[in-house]
């Protein structure tokens, strides 16, 4: 095990027995003047193992490149895993499609479960799977070595998966491992060679048990050398790396992902950034905006078309509403095809961006409250925040940008073209930098 100059945690699976409690410091050096090449000595992968979606990036000849994780060419992979009786595993969009007819064999939101005690898990009623506590189940039932056993939590929290012919219990780490193994295969196909070094981002609020569990998942997934880096730090690297820092300044990083909201205030002095305070809401994310649309269209289908029973199509409408939300970030109006839910009616239910924003006012208030709580923890006021860095797919929504502009009128607002890829890109930059200045470990 090594702790680098920034306190970033590394694990060599052939050396480690247990994980040190000294995980991450609060000060981090921003790498400068990095020239990324395809030098095979420094082949690295950065993975944002998100609640809703995963993203991976690698070093290529002309810089950091995000890998297309979907067979349709999409770079983001929905964090869904489905199982069947042949013990085959299905991922992403293909797994989502199975929700319509084999929902109990499909698992998602595992990041909300991994490394937590059973009594600390907030059960989501939309989960088609069951989270159970089994005292009799032994960790040794897993086909893995003592290194992984030492990293596994011993709370005996499991996910019950039901296929057509049987039931099985899976540890949350096994679900994440399956995702990470799939990502490894895609990455290796993309680069045309083997890669076993990975930097995985984790929420800054993750406990040691959650970090242990994430490491265990990575090792189970076939990665031999694992780094963990806080998500807000990785995002800050992506925005600030190779940028001239001419003065000291304070910035706020706002990360609205699919399932969570994270807010961090950083102080930048010279080449170093320091996390001053952080906060967020583990139960507020882009998916809550989807639910606003689901409720809107469900009520319209009932009141205007007398379509009431949508149980067998609830995941279909969930996906359609996600698309409507994304479309309204670019356009001023979108609609839902009624014929998808009742073949007799060839009609559309429309919604404008303005209507969507009005329906979302309670969520915006909750987000504003969360930001203000973090500001109150710091030694600064709103007008002293000089930059606001936007991260996560939810940051694309115009209402979010307006909210932040109103809260921080004097701050420069920075939003990457692909804010949902920023964390993975930052992790890869940093991993490459560290591998280039440290002696690589031979396996």
CATH number at residue 62: 3.30.420.40
- Verify that 65 and 52 share a domain, yes or no: yes
**Same domain, residue pair 205 and 164:** no
111 and 153 within one domain: yes
- Confidence band, pLDDT 50/70/90 cuts, at residue 37: low
Specify whether 102 is located in the same domain as 164: yes
Residue that terminates a domain, selected from 173, 189, 216: 173
Q: Please state, in angstroms and as integers, the Cα–Cα distance from residue 84 to each residue in 143, 160, 180, following that order.
A: 20, 13, 19
Residue 279 has a pLDDT of 92
Cα dihedral 234, 406, 283, 184 sign: negative
**Residue 32 pLDDT > 80:** no
Using alpha carbons only, what angle is made at residue 54 by residues 70 and 87, rounded to the nearest 5 degrees?
65
Domain count, the chain: 2
The answer on 195 and 53 residing in a single domain is: yes
B/e letters for 214-249, b = 16+ CB within 10 Å, e = fewer, are bbbbbbbbbbbbbbbbbbbbbbbbbbbbeeeeeeeb
What is the crossing angle of helices 361-377 and 398-407, to 10°?
A: 40
**Cα distances (Å, whole numbers) of residue 233 to 101, 210, 253, 261, 389:** 40, 18, 9, 15, 12
> Is residue 36 scored above 70 in pLDDT?
no
Residue 35 is predicted with a pLDDT of 64
Q: Indicate the range of 31-35, 38-42, 173-177, 369-373 predicted with least confidence.
A: 38-42
**Structure-block tokens of residue 382:** 């709103």
Torsion of CA 59, 60, 62, 64, to 10 degrees: -30
Specify the higher pLDDT residue, 22 or 135: 135
What would the mean pLDDT of 157-186 be, rounded to a whole number?
94
Q: Is residue 386 part of a domain?
A: no
Point out the domain boundary residue: 173, 191, 219. 173
Regarding whether 160 and 45 lie in a shared domain, the answer is: no
Asked whether residue 427 is assigned to any structural domain, the reply reads: yes
Looking at the domain assignment, is residue 342 inside a domain? no
Q: What is the pLDDT of residue 19?
A: 31
Tens of pLDDT, residue by residue over 291-319, are 999 999 999 999 999 998 888 888 899 99
Instruction: For residue 189, give both structure tokens.
Output: 């196909």
Measured in whole angstroms, the distance separating CA 69 from the mean position of its chain's CA atoms is: 14
- Identify the domain boundary among 149, 173, 197: 173
Instruction: Give the highest mean pLDDT range of 172-181, 188-197, 278-287.
Output: 172-181
- 17: confidence class by pLDDT, cuts 50, 70, 90: very low
Residue range of the domain that includes 147: 94-173
What local confidence, expressed as pLDDT, does residue 421 receive?
97
62 and 207 both lie in a single domain: yes
> Are 20 and 55 members of one domain?
yes
């Amino acid at each position: 095990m090594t702790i680098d100059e920034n306190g970033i945690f590394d694990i060599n699976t052939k050396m480690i027995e247990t994980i040190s409690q000294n995980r991450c410091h609060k000060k981090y050096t921003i790498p400068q003047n990095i020239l990324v090449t395809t030098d095979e000595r420094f082949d690295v992968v950065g993975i944002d193992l998100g609640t809703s979606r995963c993203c991976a990036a690698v070093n290529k000849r002309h810089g950091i490149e995000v890998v297309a994780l979907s067979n349709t060419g999409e770079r983001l992979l929905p964090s869904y895993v489905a199982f069947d009786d042949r013990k085959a595993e299905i991922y992403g969009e293909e797994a989502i499609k199975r929700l319509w007819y084999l929902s109990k064999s499909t698992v998602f939101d595992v990041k909300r479960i991994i490394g937590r005690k059973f009594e600390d898990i907030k059960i989501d009623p939309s989960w088609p799977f069951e989270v159970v506590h089994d005292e009799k189940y032994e960790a040794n039932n897993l086909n893995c070595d003592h290194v992984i056993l030492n990293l596994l939590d011993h709370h005996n929290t499991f996910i019950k998966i039901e296929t057509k012919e049987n039931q099985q219990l899976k540890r949350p780490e096994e679900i994440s491992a399956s995702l990470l193994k799939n990502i490894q295969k895609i990455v290796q196909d993309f680069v045309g060679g083997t890669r076993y070094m990975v930097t995985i981002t984790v929420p800054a609020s993750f406990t040691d048990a959650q970090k242990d569990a994430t490491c265990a998942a990575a090792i189970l997934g076939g990665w031999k050398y694992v780094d963990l880096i806080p998500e807000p730090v990785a995002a800050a690297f992506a925005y600030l790396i190779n940028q001239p820092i001419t003065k000291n300044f304070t910035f706020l990083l706002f990360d609205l992902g699919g399932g969570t909201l994270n807010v961090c205030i950083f102080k930048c002095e010279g080449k170093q950034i320091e996390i001053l305070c952080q906060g967020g809401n583990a139960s507020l994310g882009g998916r809550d905006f989807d639910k606003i649309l689901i409720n809107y269209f469900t009520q319209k289908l009932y009141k205007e078309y007398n379509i009431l029973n949508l149980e067998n199509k609830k995941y279909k409408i969930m996906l359609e509403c996600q698309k409507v939300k994304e479309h309204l970030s670019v356009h001023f109006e979108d609609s839902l095809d009624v014929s998808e839910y009742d073949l007799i009616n060839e009609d559309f239910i429309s919604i404008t961006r303005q209507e969507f924003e009005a329906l979302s006012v309670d969520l915006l208030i909750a987000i504003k409250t969360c930001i203000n709580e973090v500001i109150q923890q710091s030694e600064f006021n709103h007008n002293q925040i000089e930059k606001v860095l936007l991260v996560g797919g939810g940051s694309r929504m115009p209402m979010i940008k307006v909210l932040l502009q109103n809260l921080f009128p004097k701050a420069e607002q920075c939003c990457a073209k692909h804010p949902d890829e920023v964390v993975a890109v930052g992790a890869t930059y940093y991993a490459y930098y560290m591998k280039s200045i440290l002696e690589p470990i031979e396996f």
